[in-house]
Amino acid sequence: MVVGDFPIEVDTLVVGAGPGGYVAAIRAAQMGQKVTIVEKDALGGTCLNVGCIPSKALIQAGHTAQQAQGNSELGITTETVSVDFSKVQEWKENIVNRLTSGVQGLLKGNKVDIVKGEVYFVDDKTVRVMDDKNSQTYKFNNCIIATGSRPIEIPGFKFSERVLDSTGALALKEIPKKMVVIGGGYIGTELSSAFANFGTEITILEGTKNILGGFEKQMSQLVKKRLTKKGASIITEAMAKGVEETKDGVKVTYEVKGEEETVEADYVLVTVGRRPNTDELGLEQVGIELDDRGLVKIDKQCRTNVSNIYAIGDIVAGPPLAHKASYEGKVAAEAISGEKSAIDYLAMPAVVFSDPELASVGYTEKEAKEAGIDAKASKFPFAANGRALSMNSTDGFLKLVTRKEDGLVIGAQIAGPNASDMIAELGLAVEAGMTAEDIALTIHAHPTLGEIAMEAADIAIGKPTHML
């Protein structure tokens, strides 16, 4: 503690202002707590600034560029399509700025004190917040740690102007002619799809047998097929070995089936996962337990082994999803306030903004059977839906997973247009304990993609209407 550094006392201190931290701070303040939130970078965290939001903006711009090229099947052709990528980036930044300004307004409107700086734990009731010039001590009754994660840097691929993480790829000044993407998970696949739509020649190097390994093969195969149609080369069971940077690009060496190969490109994008930001907080000063991956161990209320300190988001077990962090933030804030809130991940949706989109919630048929549940899957194709046909986007399906004994909806998977929006209905069904009959009896507007859920529910109850 520096001379003259009189501790500032707060009820709840939130460390990190990403989608977990700022939501936790707002909920805690709404429940009567005096809250201070500390962020070393920009409000909104990775998600709003260099993740979810800017990537979806880029994906949408890519879709628009692709659609502008016309479709001869629909009788629409065009001579030329030009993309001013600097304008695309300007538009993307405007969206980011509007949302981060909105977060600031929400925090202030809920009387949350916003502090800029880095946090270091002194003990289980005290932190020191440091910026470039000052150090200030804060004493808290409770603390929620929400410091997020950062891209993993792999050996032989040190990040640079040509070796990019997702942040670097989203900030490119021009559309690359060629790009190598290491890692075919959701980040690599989304950005590959976006740049392929702009005309970039993509090569994906994936270490496992399939891209998007967290989804069923019949779902990921649709994305693989569409990427290949856009000119992408997808090389699976490939191990990236190293990169040679040249004046104008990169030469990437990789190994596949025991043979060493090389591929040249303008840039190489590394998307092999994310590492929790738990290593520079002084957590060892408090005795907070971490697992072997550096993740904080928590209970069902997001409480660490230190009873007044909570952890949420990417620094705890589970997928690094913004909506998971927000959900956990609400649970932690409510637990601090004495509520009986507890985490339950069954209805946690997972979405990939690929082409086509993929979404899943609850159990897959395989997972249900592994859990000892006698379940069945009822599948309805987009190709039999009037709205999908009128959109000329018929690849994909919706699969409803139900318990055989009573028709309880325990999961759903969607591959197709607008899957990211459609999964919400099925998430509600899982969360609310609804049956397939409940969905089948719900009147869905016609013609809409939403009808596909009703059709799958009709199949589940043994009364299909638009399928033999």
For residue range 134-175, list pLDDT tens digits in order: 899 999 999 999 999 999 999 999 999 999 999 999 999 999
For residue 429, what is the DSSP state? Answer: H
Query: What is the CB neighbour count within 10 angstroms for residue 160?
Result: 13
User: In angstroms, rounded to a whole number, what is the distance separating the alpha carbons of residues 51 and 48?
Assistant: 6
pTM: 0.95
3-state class (DSSP) for residue 20: coil
3-state class (DSSP) for residue 425: helix
Fold identical between 8-151+275-336 and 163-272?
yes
Q: Is 199 annotated as a binding residue?
A: no
**Are 461 and 407 a contacting pair, CB within 8 Å?**
yes
In terms of Cα–Cα distance, which of 191, 149, 150 is closest to 171? 191
Q: Is 188 annotated as a binding residue?
A: yes
How does residue 2 score in pLDDT terms, banded at 50, 70 and 90?
very low
Q: Is 206 annotated as a binding residue?
A: yes
Give the contacts of 467 (CB within 8 A, at least 6 positions apart): 380, 384, 455, 459
In terms of Cα–Cα distance, which of 354, 367, 442 is closest to 412? 367
pLDDT at position 256: 96
Distance of CA 412 to the CA centre of its chain: 18
User: In angstroms, rounded to a whole number, what is the distance separating the alpha carbons of residues 288 and 171?
Assistant: 36
For residue range 337-363, list pLDDT tens digits in order: 999 999 999 999 999 999 999 999 999
pLDDT, average across residues 456-468: 96
Cis peptide before 464 (omega within 30 of 0): no
Give the contacts of 421 (CB within 8 A, at least 6 positions apart): none
Q: Is 183 annotated as a binding residue?
A: yes
Residue range 163-272, CATH number: 3.50.50.60
- The one-letter amino acid at 367: E
Taking domain 8-151+275-336, whether its CATH number is 3.50.50.60 is answered by yes
**Are 311 and 144 a contacting pair, CB within 8 Å?**
yes
3-state class (DSSP) for residue 5: coil
Q: What DSSP letter does each residue of 237-254 carry, written as one string? A: SEEEEEEEE-SS-EEEEE
In terms of Cα–Cα distance, which of 148, 147, 141, 149 is closest to 306? 141
Of the options 1.10.3720.10, 3.30.70.250, 3.30.60.50, 3.30.390.30, the CATH number for the domain spanning 356-460:
3.30.390.30
Asked if residue 1 has pLDDT above 60, the reply is no
What are the sequence ranges of the domains in the chain? 8-151+275-336, 163-272, 356-460
Q: Is 247 annotated as a binding residue?
A: no
Q: Is 187 annotated as a binding residue?
A: yes
Q: Is 184 annotated as a binding residue?
A: yes
3-state class (DSSP) for residue 428: helix
Q: Is 139 annotated as a binding residue?
A: no
Question: What mean pLDDT, rounded, does the chain reach?
Answer: 96
Cis peptide before 320 (omega within 30 of 0): no
How does residue 133 score in pLDDT terms, banded at 50, 70 and 90?
confident
Cis peptide before 447 (omega within 30 of 0): yes
Q: Is 386 annotated as a binding residue?
A: no
Active site residues: 446
In terms of Cα–Cα distance, which of 53, 27, 7 is closest to 144? 27
For residue range 239-281, list pLDDT tens digits in order: 999 999 988 999 999 999 999 999 999 999 999 999 999 999 9
Token pair of 415, please?
């591959």
Percentage of residues of the chain with pLDDT beyond 90: 96
3-state class (DSSP) for residue 423: helix
**Are 396 and 414 a contacting pair, CB within 8 Å?**
yes
- Rounded to whole angstroms, what are the CA distances from 209 to 192, 206, 234, 238? 18, 8, 11, 9
Asked if residue 84 has pLDDT above 90, the reply is yes
